[in-house]
Amino acid sequence: MAKEPTQEQQLIIDHPGNTVVTAKPGSGKTYTVVEKIGKVLTSLPDFKGVIAISFTNKASDELKKRCRQKGFSAKQSFFGTIDKFYISQIIIPFASHLTNCMPEYSVCNDIDQDSQYSGLIDFSITPSSDLETLLIAALSEGKIFLEKSGETALYILQKVPGALKYIKARFSHIFIDEYQDCGEIQHRIFLQLVNAGLIGVAVGDINQAIFGFANRFPKYLIGLIGNGEFSHFELNKNHRCHPSISEYSLCLFGASNTIPENKRVFLVNVQGNEIQIAKKIDSYLDRIKATYSVAHNNKIAILCRGNGTVGILDKALQSPHKVFVETDLDKDSSDWCRLFRDTLVACFDPNVYAMDYASELFSEDTEPEKYRQALQICHEIFSCSPETILSVEDKVIHLAKLTYPKGDNETSRALLHNVLTDAEMIQSYVPAADHEINIMTLHKSKGLEFNIVFHMDMYKYIISDDWGDADDIAQMLNLHYVGVTRAIDVCYIINGSRRYRSKNNDFVDAYPSAFLSKPGLSERRRNVTWK
């Protein structure tokens, strides 16, 4: 039986104008966006489509896949990342209007490596005439600098009237997911497209803004809520987490009115540091799994603030487990590196097949030759194990060339080689086996879910309001919120009497985070001691 939207979801789907949606984890955000996109597409002529932007290739592929599974024709739609949108829909089609030439374009990852154009690192929303001249010179040579793709796209929209006219003629709506992670450039371009006549749909969760270190804050999402041109809707009902977990997470921001009887959030006190905590997890694990009918360890996660705690637990935990580390490919946002990451994740996932992955890259109907080549390459890659993946390095690069022919660069190739030759990094693309507990940072857990979560590092000076400015404190609280809402069945917030201090590589007395004392939280959790 097909799923029917809830009343709050249906209001969003049916709303015809500019829309901002704030959605809690597990509230059916993606389902609602897919249904809304589908409703829009059915009303459009074949020559028009929508813009659907996500911050990762994986998320955009999932959105496109769900639309396809629902039977919605994508028509002339764009599904992809924000950088890909800038480059493919604005820069490449319209840069020639500034340069009066049409070179072969290539995407460059590092301005600092190009001495002739390194000054473009200072190119901003309001560039000087010298920087404008330098940008036009770079574009004339076919150079698009990835880290300035947003500024370049905004500049073109401001200088080339035909760019906005083209986008308005081709697309009716622009959807942007995870809007709480938008920066100023993305926000400006979104509003410019809306002002040009596209209907804007922004979706996000203010309380999941955890990337302030990358200058991405929720103020732009908050600004849209207060913008009279947008109608604000909320998706508050968490369909994923146990109700008591949902209420606890809402209470973090003073939004809960219900005190559940069956509390599934525990504040666990342990005498000792992370080493003793690991021993307690080992001793209580079977009992916890039985209580919540969890058969496999890969449905369990230990989430930490930083890599220091991850390293201690990795050594101390006796139960089978798997550590997920940040790899060299995670440090680069180019199209090639994103494709490399997605390919490695897909090829080691037993639930993903070569045919499925090739279909995400190319349409068998509209791009039959590219689809055929991609399918052949994917079959070779997907036949490899982590131990043999290095043998198809050239195939992975070939797939990148096929998918992003203008994205070739030595940096991406080098980063791929670093990962393929590092056993620890390559293992981070392999999902945990049934018998393995997941250990990772809170940042790395965003977007994931587990039946049982052990939430570490809720200490003063670690995840707390004891340092930084207001934005830093908000980021810390949001990080805690993300940790709690990764749990489906139960969340254990673990507090030891001592904690690891990575800066000094020692252990010091630990004090609870002030966030644990926020009003209403104590009534919505159970306090226990593991002896």
Q: pLDDT per residue over 383-426, tens digit each?
A: 999 999 999 999 999 999 998 887 777 889 999 999 999 998 99
* Other Cβ atoms closer than 10 A to 190: 23
* Per-residue confidence (pLDDT) for residue 217, from 0 to 100: 54
Residues of the chain by 3-state class (helix, strand, coil), percent to 5: 50, 15, 35
Banded model confidence at residue 100, pLDDT cuts 50, 70, 90:
very high
Show Cβ contacts of residue 388 under 8 Å, excluding neighbours closer than 6 positions.
none
Give the helix ranges, DSSP H, for 303-409: 307-316, 335-348, 354-361, 368-382, 393-403
Show Cβ contacts of residue 127 under 8 Å, excluding neighbours closer than 6 positions.
135, 151, 155
pLDDT, tens only, 117-127: 989 999 998 88
Return the closest-CA partner of residue 253 out of 512, 528, 524. 524
Q: Which amino acid is at 130?
A: D
Beta strands in 24-69 (DSSP E): 49-54
User: Within 13 Å of residue 58, how many CA atoms lie on the same side as its CB?
Assistant: 12
Q: Using the CB atoms, write b or e for 487-501: b if 16+ within 10 Å.
A: bbbbbbbbbbebbbe
**Dihedral angle at the C-alpha atoms of 271, 276, 278, 280, nearest 10 degrees?**
-60
d(CA 366, CA 357) in angstroms, rounded, equals: 16
d(CA 404, CA 361) in angstroms, rounded, equals: 10
**Average of pLDDT values for 134-141?**
95
Q: How is residue 171 written in tokens? A: 């697309």
**Average of pLDDT values for 248-252?**
88
Show Cβ contacts of residue 74 under 8 Å, excluding neighbours closer than 6 positions.
41, 49, 64, 67, 68
Return the closest-CA partner of residue 59 out of 92, 84, 95. 84
- Tokens 């995670």, residue? 330
Least confident of 54-63, 219-228, 289-298, 348-357: 54-63
Output phi, psi for 5, to 5 deg: -70, 150
Among 2-16, 235-249, 467-481, name the most confident range. 2-16
Looking at the chain, how many residues does it have? Answer: 531
- 290 pLDDT higher than 60: yes
How close are the terminal C-alpha atoms of the chain, in Å? 48
- 466 pLDDT higher than 50: yes
Beta strands in 74-169 (DSSP E): 78-81, 106-108, 143-145
**Average of pLDDT values for 435-451?**
90
d(CA 378, CA 187) in angstroms, rounded, equals: 36
The secondary element (H helix, E strand) that includes residue 216 is: none
* Per-residue confidence (pLDDT) for residue 85, from 0 to 100: 92
Output phi, psi for 228, to 5 deg: -65, -15
Instruction: Give residue 110's Cα distance to chain centre.
Output: 22
pTM over 0.75: no
Q: How is residue 47 written in tokens? A: 């020559």
Banded model confidence at residue 210, pLDDT cuts 50, 70, 90:
very low
User: Within 13 Å of residue 105, how many CA atoms lie on the same side as its CB?
Assistant: 20
Q: How is residue 87 written in tokens? A: 């480059």
d(CA 471, CA 426) in angstroms, rounded, equals: 34
Show Cβ contacts of residue 470 under 8 Å, excluding neighbours closer than 6 positions.
none
Banded model confidence at residue 440, pLDDT cuts 50, 70, 90:
very high
* Other Cβ atoms closer than 10 A to 404: 19
* Per-residue confidence (pLDDT) for residue 212, from 0 to 100: 44
d(CA 362, CA 366) in angstroms, rounded, equals: 8
Q: Angle CA(190)–CA(7)–CA(207) in degrees, nearest 5?
A: 50
Q: How is residue 164 written in tokens? A: 């906005």
* Domains, in order of start, for the chain: 1-239 (3.40.50.300), 243-325+433-530 (3.40.50.300), 329-427 (no CATH)
* Other Cβ atoms closer than 10 A to 228: 6
Q: How many helices (H) and strands (E) does the chain have?
A: 22, 17
